A = this chain, B = another copy of it.
Amino acid sequence: MKVVVWNEFRHEKNNEEVAKIYPEGMHETIAAFLRDEDVEVTTATLDEPEHGLTDEVLQETDVLVWWGHLAHDEVSEEVAEKVKQRVLEGMGLVVLHSGHFSKVFKKLMGTGCDLKWREAGENERLWVVDPTHPITAGIGEFIELEQEEMYGEHFDIPTPDELVFISWFKGGEVFRSGVTFKRGNGKIFYFRPGHETHPTYHHKDIQTVIKNGVRWAKRENAQTPYYGNYQPLEEL
């Protein structure tokens, strides 16, 4: 199984606070905990040629993990469109935190993907609302994060296929913070936490959820539907 972790990789270069938490970039932290016997993980970042997402890379990728924030607009229309097409072809996609506003996610959702937000370092509690879901394996009834950015409803996404987590924030808001979507032959998991100034991706439970999400997003059915003109299967 081949996973690519994509990161904008700007905050880590421009902000000392972030650099302390993720000295080699968020993508390296995430890649490290995703690596496993049967999981090969590489990384790609915005400032590489084609943002590190060449046709070859995309073609071989089973699941792409996406973190972006400041520079969504710098992702080329062409690459964003290619990533979208690969998801529709069957590549899994795990979108993290501020990736809700990425070109790729917005194209796949068809909605504004906007929300309320606040950087106040308040605590967040993610409640499991679907205890049957494989993405929740290995964690308890909730995940507690001491400090996070707040995201609040209304979250302008299509009705999710599955609602897995709902977040509670100290300041009084709630958020659908773990949601899945099927698009074409691809599976998408959006997972809210991960503001750059907090050590969220070092948290065991968050790592478990992302690992589960990556495995869940991998397509298990290799067959692609036929589209177009079609001969009758029965006599007319």
Contact = CB atoms under 8 A, between A and B. Distances in A.
Interface of A: 84, 88, 90, 107-112, 114-118, 120, 122, 125, 127-134, 136-141, 150, 152-156, 158-159, 161-163, 166-174, 176, 181-187, 219-234, 236
A230 B153 contact: no
A206 to B, nearest CB: 16
B122 A232 contact: yes
A174 B172 contact: no
* Interface residues of chain A: helix, strand, loop or mixed (majority): loop
- Copies of this chain held together in the complex: 4
A117 B221 CA distance: 24
A174 B170 CA distance: 12
Contacts of A159: 130, 161-163, 181-182
Given A109-B110, A118-B230, A229-B117, A129 B176 contact: yes
